[in-house]
Chains A and B, each alone.
Chain A
Amino acid sequence: DGGITQSPKYLFRKEGQNVTLSCEQNLNHDAMYWYRQDPGQGLRLIYYSQIVNDFQKGDIAEGYSVSREKKESFPLTVTSAQKNPTAFYLCASSMGSATGELSYEQYFGPGTRLTVT
């Protein structure tokens, strides 16, 4: 059963703590993405990775960090430097040009709702 999994679905943390959100895909996609969604808003890009061991900042990278050590995994760490971390976080993937023709269509996971108090 192919797809993207994010865990956990709900996450609660105290202010000042770092927290890592998991994202795994078994679609053999090269590219992976992290977005943040606030109520009534569209998605904003935090980080993206075109290929293993490489990633680029998106529009709102401050206070976040990522790693891409394996093709299947792209974890996101929300650090204590992120001033307003409570949000819905979405991970996505797409077929990149490394394994064939670039596909612009992105496949999304179910999301993790992070609440920081």
Chain B
Amino acid sequence: SQQGEEDPQALSIQEGENATMNCSYKTSINNLQWYRQNSGRGLVHLILIRSNEREKHSGRLRVTLDTSKKSSSLLITASRAADTASYFCATVESGGSNYKLTFGKGTLLTVNP
């Protein structure tokens, strides 16, 4: 079952602009992660935010988590053409297996040079 739902499904911006992607989920979580996938490749882990955290930064990435709304956002600042990829949120449900990640359908980000 799909836990997370990303919004928008696709996003096209110019280089240098900021990109914001949102993720909503359905159940209580232990943590939420964001992954990136270049076309036809494997996924790369970007950042993890725990359920007791509200905001986390890593380089040009900023992730927020609102557990009351069951939603998260990923902000990429000063985007580059190399940021073009699909971005997925994934959750570890609280009370479930710590090994099970449930992925959303992803946001396809296109950064135009």
Contacts and interface: CB of A to CB of B under 8 A. Distances in A.
A binds B: yes
Interface of A: 4, 31, 33, 35, 40-45, 48, 50, 56, 58-59, 88, 90, 92, 94, 96-97, 102, 104-111, 113
In this complex, which of B2, B42, B45 has the most chain A Cβ atoms within 10 angstroms of its Cβ? Answer: B42
A44 to B, nearest CB: 8
30 contacts: A33-B99, A33-B101, A35-B103, A40-B105, A42-B2, A42-B4, A42-B104, A42-B106, A43-B101, A45-B102, A50-B99, A58-B100, A59-B1, A88-B40, A92-B42, A92-B43, A94-B99, A102-B98, A104-B31, A104-B48, A104-B92, A104-B101, A105-B33, A105-B48, A106-B43, A106-B45, A106-B101, A108-B43, A109-B42, A111-B40
B81 interface: no
Interface in B28-42: 30-31, 33, 40-42
B25 interface: no
A43 B41 CA distance: 13
A96 B99 contact: yes
Contacts of A102: 98
Nearest to B41: A110
Given A59-B1, A104-B33, A104-B98, A42 B41 contact: no
Contacts of B43: 43, 90, 92, 106, 108
A42 B5 CA distance: 9
